[in-house]
Amino acid sequence: MAHSNHSSPSFFLTGLPGIEAVYVWISIPLCIVYIASLSGNGLVLWVVKSEPSLHQPMYYFLSMLAVMDLGLSASTLPTMLTIYMMGVREVTLDMCLAQLFFIHTFSIMESSVLLTMAFDHVVAISSPLRYGTILTNPRIASLGLAIVARSIGLHIPAPIMLKKLPYCQKRQLSHSYCLHPDVMKLACADTHINSVYGLFVVLSTLGVDSVLIVLSYGLILHTVLSIASKTERLKALNTCVSHICSVLLFYTPMIGLSMIHQFGKWASPCSCVLLSYLHFLIPPVLNPVVYTIKTKQIRLRILRIFRSGGASIGDTQGH
């Protein structure tokens, strides 16, 4: 039996199945994860903004990545905390559609930023003398606007199409937040057009981006292997380590989750939920850590901040 959209259907989200009794305790590490994500990415943005020596293309791209991570964390935060802290699993259709729009939009934006960062490495290693003329501030701003326009433009139709569908009585979602394929499966109508459109969006964004990132590293390896000095080769490759870590953090759980949805009928619901957490929660936490550890300028600036803060406290106590 289908219900009309005029009845404002609700959906029921899923936490980690089988351990509902300890949800309140699980909310503690979740809160720590969100605080780490918000503070880490916020600190990176503040350091880049306040340090003139960091006003360079690679740090602008890093700032874009931090903004996307903040957006992704903020998109999953409302339903995650209501499930684990308050035990509330019900979410209205409109809120569900808004959440899936922002989650998918920020995910595509992050993928796009990772691609632009790969392009940045290609230019820096292959054409270092032309780096400043290729990646000018107006060009970087144009890339940022293109990323936003592509991501928003491709995802506006999805919630509109889902809004028009009737939904069955069983409205149990598979995750702790609303995702497009998950909501679409609960419709009591033909979703062929929705499915085709969703596949088109994924292939034209995440699919294309991942292929171009791989090709970028092919060009980087080709250039690096042509360098005579072993020391210079290692130095050039070392500049890519942070970006490679971010790419693996973003794409590996996503590929695993896609494989489980497509072929893993044997997989437990718990494994699907945990993989989705790895995909949406861990990159925003670890990206600032990876870039702080591997980027000397940011690391030194953050150390100076904490040292000056400690010195200020000491002076205050001395007075």
Residues 98 and 180: their CA atoms lie apart, in Å, by: 11
- Residue 226 confidence class, pLDDT cut points 50, 70, 90: confident
State yes or no: pLDDT of 306 exceeds 60: yes
Q: Contact at 8 Å (CB) between 105 and 192?
A: no
Q: Per residue in 123-143, pLDDT tens? A: 999 888 888 899 999 999 999
- 90 within domain boundaries: yes
- 124 within domain boundaries: yes
Q: Contact at 8 Å (CB) between 107 and 72?
A: yes
Q: What's the number of domains the chain is made of?
A: 1
- 319 within domain boundaries: no
- Which has the higher per-residue pLDDT, 266 or 214? 214
pLDDT in the model for residue 158: 93
- 317 within domain boundaries: no
Domain that holds residue 302: 7-311
- 56 within domain boundaries: yes
Helix axes 93-126, 269-294, angle to 10 degrees: 40
> What number of other Cβ atoms are within 10 A of residue 187's Cβ?
17
Average pLDDT value for residue range 155-165: 92
pLDDT in the model for residue 1: 40
How distant, in Å, are the alpha carbons of 107, 132, 154, 159 from that of 162?
Answer: 19, 45, 14, 5
- 283 within domain boundaries: yes
- 1 within domain boundaries: no
Average pLDDT value for residue range 263-287: 81
Average pLDDT value for residue range 224-252: 87
Output the domain CATH number for residue 171: 1.20.1070.10
Tell me the whole-structure pTM to 2 decimals. 0.89
State yes or no: pLDDT of 9 exceeds 90: no
State yes or no: pLDDT of 78 exceeds 60: yes
State yes or no: pLDDT of 120 exceeds 70: yes
Average pLDDT value for residue range 247-267: 77
Q: Per residue in 162-217, pLDDT tens? A: 999 888 877 888 889 999 988 998 888 888 999 999 889 999 999 999 999 999 99
Buried b (16+ CB within 10 A) or exposed e, 5-15: eeeebebebbb
- 2 within domain boundaries: no
Average pLDDT value for residue range 60-86: 93
Q: Contact at 8 Å (CB) between 217 and 125?
A: no
